[in-house]
Amino acid sequence: MLRSRGLWLVFMVFVLGCVAGALSAQTPAGVTMAFDVASVKPDMSEAPASSRFPLGPGDGYAPGGFFSATNQPLVVYLRFAYKLGQSDLPGLPAWVYNERFDIEARAQGSPTKDHMRLMMQSLLADRFKLIVHTERQTKPVFNLVVAKAGKTGPQLHAHSENDSCSTASAPSTSGLQLPPIPCGSIGPIPASASGRGRLVGRAVTTGRIAGVLMNPFTGVDRPVLDRTGLTGTFDFSLEWSLAPDSAQPLGSQTEDTGPTFLEALQQQLGFRLKSTKGPVDVLVMDHVEHPTEN
């Protein structure tokens, strides 16, 4: 049970970093965004890794034109720059995972996090001579589908037209009992019992829902593609029993008869995962070097 609570806290951090969906800020064709000044230094210390804002694929962010992260391996900066999860990155040499760097950089104005990502791409190309390309490959995936044609679950409601989303803290008016989360967001909240996870969303597409399902805490281990055929936006609430810790003595674990994640997905939202193969965009590294001096 203690580990389940710990897992859920980590899951909250994970999802809060993933609440905002696909890349929203793009630059015009041919325009390159770059930091005004930047410092890259190797870090040989034993200090814990840190960053001014989450470097995951989501939009958790501290506004302003200052980027700061310490004692991070290059792969973390790479995943930040290209908005990647924990998927494999073909072609990475071992030092990209093992050697750590401090990066501080400044930009004028108040760039968005997505602008920061584009600036980081420029920095990696300049200082690490990074060259990458994207390939569309056929890989094992899950399709998110409606379990019963024409019917969704009781915890998935079409987002109410009466909910204008004009106030970020306004509660959902779709009929679900949701906390006051902003429209367009997905996030974790306390579950009804210990040892469980709960995820809610307000005014999100099924594509957004599919996008957060792959992570260690749901047990979904491959990309999920939206094949529900549903349009519009939805409010939802999903609660399931976290997997027990096999390393803990059986007597120390609290039995939870709640649904597994896959059971909850079908019972509460009316969805199921169908194993198949499908197109996945894979970032491939062509070249990388140790950083140039500042």
Spans of all domains in the chain: 2-21+139-279, 37-128
Backbone angles phi, psi at 288, to 5 degrees: -155, 145
Q: Mean pLDDT throughout 164-168?
A: 56
- Res 103: pLDDT: 97
User: What 3-state class would DSSP assign to 42?
Assistant: strand
- Please provide the distance, in angstroms rounded to a whole number, between the alpha carbons at the two ends of the chain: 48
Element (H, E) at 112: none
164: nearest Cα among 233, 225, 110, 222? 233
- The predicted pLDDT at position 101 comes to 97
Question: 213 and 220 in contact (C-beta within 8 Å)?
Answer: yes
pLDDT score of 175? 65
Which range among 6-20, 92-106, 160-174, 258-272 shows the weakest confidence by mean pLDDT? Answer: 6-20
Q: Is the pLDDT of residue 134 over 70?
A: yes
Q: Give the pLDDT of residue 123.
A: 97
In the predicted structure, residue 288 carries a pLDDT above the cut 50:
yes
pLDDT tens readout for residues 195-252: 898 999 888 999 999 988 987 778 898 889 999 999 999 999 999 998 765 444 444 4
pLDDT band at 166; cut points 50, 70, 90 = low
Q: How confident is the model at residue 174 (pLDDT cuts 50, 70, 90)?
A: low
Neighbours of 6 (CB within 10 A): 11
Confidence of residue 142 (pLDDT cuts 50, 70, 90): very high
| Average model confidence (pLDDT) across the chain | 82
Judged against a pLDDT cut of 60, whether residue 183 lies above it is answered with yes
| Model pLDDT for residues 67-85, shown as the tens digit of each residue | 999 999 999 999 899 888 6
| pLDDT score of 95 more than 80 | yes
How many other C-beta atoms can be found within 10 angstroms of the C-beta atom of residue 291?
19
Share of the chain above pLDDT 70, in %: 78
- With b for 16 or more beta-carbon neighbours within 10 A and e for fewer, the 20-39 pattern comes to bbeeeeeeeeeeebebeebe
- Write out the two tokens for 131: 């060259």
Does the pTM exceed 0.85?
no
Write phi, then psi, for 185 (nearest 5 degrees): -120, 155
Q: Tokens at residue 126, please?
A: 């300049």
